[in-house]
Amino acid sequence: MSAATAGTSRYTNKIFCAEALTKLRTFPDELIDCIVTSPPYYRQRDYSNHKQIGRERSPQEYVQKLVLVLAEARRVLKSTGTCWLVIGDKYIQGEQLGIPWRLALAMKDDGWVLRSDVIWHKPNAMPSSVKTRPTTDHEYVFFFTKSSTDYYYDADAIREPHVTFTAQSRMRGGRRHFFCRNGTPEAGKNQGNANLHDGRWDQAFHPGGRNKRTVWSIPLSKNRNAHFAVFPESLVETAILGGCPPRGIVLDPFLGTGTTAVVARRSGRRYVGIDCVRQYCQMARRRLAETDSR
């Protein structure tokens, strides 16, 4: 085992039951390849822990605290690293607070590079009795990097099935254009592209599927040990496969019941988890033990 590997092993494949900011300050620079996390949402739940984030007096204070934690996480992230942040909004006295974009813009101001915003659509979102606005069935996933150009991203690992030549196609004329000479419906959009206008649409599409879109329709997940919905494993898997190299290290500074660690392990990556709620740390360790025993 090399000295670098030995040093890394002090932190990897471990769950630290501690306050995130304090623990992150003990980590070396550029240890982590990828961050995947969903911090406690503002005024959503009381974890009965004086170190918790989410019970601040104002949205501004909440955002400031998260920015501090994520700045320390950025320090321990490699220069080629990525960060995937899942965050929902909050209504107080009928007013939407705009928490996700407050946080995203504050992180940009603090030095993060925002590469993409993703809508996580929840097809099984809880029904709502609200009658003064639409029912919320989405949250945000923000994709950040340290660098604007040099970062790890595997587009092929997270491609989606093509829909252009399927029954779901919304293209005018649909599948009839395939292999039809001069079959491109837009007269000007693809003018001059011989492959398309000679009916060779197949050559314009990647064989592995289309590039990942920015709306992810993923149902909420359940955990038999928790009374609330948890981070969907398929959402975490998309972030890890797309943003972390094989055998890389994934950090979740708000680990909760351990979904990020479980998915990292199953995906052939290492993990580092931090959470200040002892009950959740215990749940996460049990889930990892169950994963390892399969």
Find all residues with CB under 8 Å of 50, minimum gap 6, and list them: none
Least confident among 77-91, 185-199, 241-255: 185-199
Domain ranges of the chain: 10-160+212-293, 162-210
Answer yes or no: are the C-beta atoms of 161 and 169 closer than 8 Å.
no
- The string over 1-29, giving b where at least 16 C-beta atoms fall within 10 Å of a residue's C-beta and e elsewhere, is eeeeeeebeebbbebbbbbbbebbeebee
Q: What is the pLDDT of residues 38-92, one digit of tens each?
A: 999 999 877 777 778 999 999 999 999 999 999 999 999 999 999 999 999 999 9
**Distance between the two ends of the chain, CA-based, in angstroms?**
27
pLDDT confidence band for 143 (50 / 70 / 90): very high
Q: Which fold has domain 10-160+212-293?
A: Rossmann fold (3.40.50)
How far apart CA 25 and CA 74 sit, in angstroms, is 11
E-assigned strands of the chain?
A: 14-17, 32-37, 77-87, 91-92, 95-96, 113-121, 138-145, 215-217, 249-252, 270-275
Output phi, psi for 271, to 5 deg.
Answer: -135, 155
This prediction has a pTM of 0.87
Percent of the chain with pLDDT over 70: 81
